[in-house]
Amino acid sequence: MGCARRWARQCPEWGYPRIVAPFQIRVFGDPVLRQPTQDVTEIDENLVKLADDMLVTMYEAPGVGLAAPQVGIQKRLFVYDIGTGPHAVVNPRLSAHEGEWTYEEGCLSVPELSWSIVRYECVHLDGWDLDGNELSIDADELLARMFQHECDHLDGMLLLERLDKRQRKGAMKTLRRRALGLPDNDGSDHADLENQAGSDGDVVSGDAAVDDTAPATR
Ligand SMILES: [Zn+2]
């Protein structure tokens, strides 16, 4: 898995052509994103290869997390790297939570949009790694948020379902415009403008890129 990271990070620096991600990330409207996943029954070389390919796809996006349904695979598996190196979690389950934290959150499957979303500040995650070792992780802030975001994907849920009524209305309007091939914003709706993520320098958690230098609210 270390190799996935090296490839994705170093190729542009060394002037090689950008690698082609093994998977195309599925986006809103694809029914695979709405289906709950099946537990992994065997950790074998195929699963390791899948996780490796998912990591390459994630780094290439770029993102900090990627769940199997986002590449069209109905397995309970996600990969992540929030700056601590590549990780994979097999059959993850959230078992405890505490506190609330509001933070800007985006999703690789709903590209270029983000919203301020309330989630638990701390969670406990159980699962297995790719060597079959049991994982038991206490997570807070960005890691906790990403775990909640990816577990939602594995339950067939998108961050759109975590939006409040007003955010959801703006989001659906933008996504309908996209489906029609129109620009995201017609300039008439303040809510849309507010929900529109820009390009560089965005502060986004979830599984889109993260800039953790920005202020957080809680
Ligand atoms: Zn996502």
In the numeric block, which tokens belong to residue 140?
């807070």
Kindly indicate the confidence band of residue 17, based on its pLDDT and cuts at 50, 70 and 90.
Answer: low
d(CA 78, CA 206): 13
CATH number at residue 87: 3.90.45.10
- 3-state class (DSSP) for residue 171: helix
Can you give the pTM of this predicted structure? 0.82
Q: Which residues are catalytic?
A: 150
User: Is the residue at 214 inside a domain?
Assistant: no
What is the whole-number distance in angstroms between the Cα of residue 42 and the centre of ligand 1?
Answer: 25
Q: Which domain holds residue 175?
A: 2-206
**The dihedral of CA 152, 195, 208, 28: what is its sign?**
positive
Higher pLDDT, 195 or 80: 80
- Asked if residue 60 lies in contact with residue 53, where contact means CB atoms within 8 angstroms, the answer is no
Q: Could you tell me if residue 13 is inside a domain?
A: yes
Structural domain count of the chain:
1
Query: What was the pLDDT predicted at 211?
Result: 54
Greater model confidence, 22 or 201: 22
Closest Cα to residue 119, out of 152, 90, 87, 89? 152
Q: If you ran DSSP here, which 8-state letter would residue 32 be given?
A: G
Enumerate residues with CB within 5 Å of ligand 1 (an ion): 107, 207
Where residue 121 falls (left for φ over 0; alpha for ψ -120 to 50; beta otherwise) is alpha
* pLDDT surpassing 60 at residue 1: no
Domain assignment present for residue 217? The answer is no
Average pLDDT in the 48-53 region? 98
188-218 in b/e burial notation, b at 16+ Cβ within 10 A? Answer: eeeebeebebeeeebbbbbbbbbeeeeeeee
Question: Is the confidence at residue 13, as pLDDT, over 70?
Answer: no
- Cα 97 to averaged position of ligand 1 atoms, centre (Å): 20
- Residue 131 domain flag: yes
Residue 218 lies in a domain: no
How much is the pLDDT for 203? 54
Lookup: tokens for 28: 């809103």
- Say how many Å lie between the CA of residue 111 and the centre of ligand 1: 9
CB 122 within 8 A of CB 139: yes
